[in-house]
C-alpha cells in the first residue's frame, strides 16, 4: 500500500511537471540549463588545470574527468531516489541547496587569496 502511494505521488508530480508551461517556456528553460552547464563545465576544468603545476596538468585533467563522470553517473540516480520520496519540487529545491553549498568553499578560497569575496570581477 505504501509503495503504491509513492508511485501515485511520483506520477502526480510528473503530470504537474508536464503541465508547467508552454513548449516555448520549457525549451527556454532547457536551453538556459544547458548553457549554464556548459559554462560551469569549462570554468571548473580551467580552474583545476590553472591551479596545477606545469607537470601536473595530466593529473588535474584526470581528476576532473573522474569527478565529472562520477557526478554525471550518480547524480541522476540519487535525484531519482529523492523524487520517489519527496516529489519533483522538493528534489529540485534540495539540488539547488546542494549547489549553493558549493559557494561556501569558493568564497573561503577567494578570501584566503586576498580577494574580496563579493567582487566578482575576473582579473586578467
pTM higher than 0.75: no
What total of structural domains would you count in the chain? 1
Under the banding of pLDDT at 50, 70 and 90, the label for residue 62 is: very high
CA dist 43 and 35 (Å) reads: 12
CA dist 38 and 116 (Å) reads: 26
Q: Is residue 35 part of a domain?
A: yes
Q: Is residue 84 part of a domain?
A: yes
Residue range of the domain that includes 47: 2-112
Does position 80 have pLDDT exceeding 90, yes or no?
A: yes
Q: What mean pLDDT comes out for the span 98-121?
A: 75
27-52 pLDDT, tens digit per residue, is: 887 888 788 888 888 888 888 888 89
Nearest 10 degrees: Cα torsion 74, 75, 78, 80? -120
The x, y and z cell numbers of residue 37, run together, are 552547464
CA dist 97 and 99 (Å) reads: 5
Do residues 51 and 60 touch, judged by C-beta distance below 8 A? yes
Amino acid at each position: 500500500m505504501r509503495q503504491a502511494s509513492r508511485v501515485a505521488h511520483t506520477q502526480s508530480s510528473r503530470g504537474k511537471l508536464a503541465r508547467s508551461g508552454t513548449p516555448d517556456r520549457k525549451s527556454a528553460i532547457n536551453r538556459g540549463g544547458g548553457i549554464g552547464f556548459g559554462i560551469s563545465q569549462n570554468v571548473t576544468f580551467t580552474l583545476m588545470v590553472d591551479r596545477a603545476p606545469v607537470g601536473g596538468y595530466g593529473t588535474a585533467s584526470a581528476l576532473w574527468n573522474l569527478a565529472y563522470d562520477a557526478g554525471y553517473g550518480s547524480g541522476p540516480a540519487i535525484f531519482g531516489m529523492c523524487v520517489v520520496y519527496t516529489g519533483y519540487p522538493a528534489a529540485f529545491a534540495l539540488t539547488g541547496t546542494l549547489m549553493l553549498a558549493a559557494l561556501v568553499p569558493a568564497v573561503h578560497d577567494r578570501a584566503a587569496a586576498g580577494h574580496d569575496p563579493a567582487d566578482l570581477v575576473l582579473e586578467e
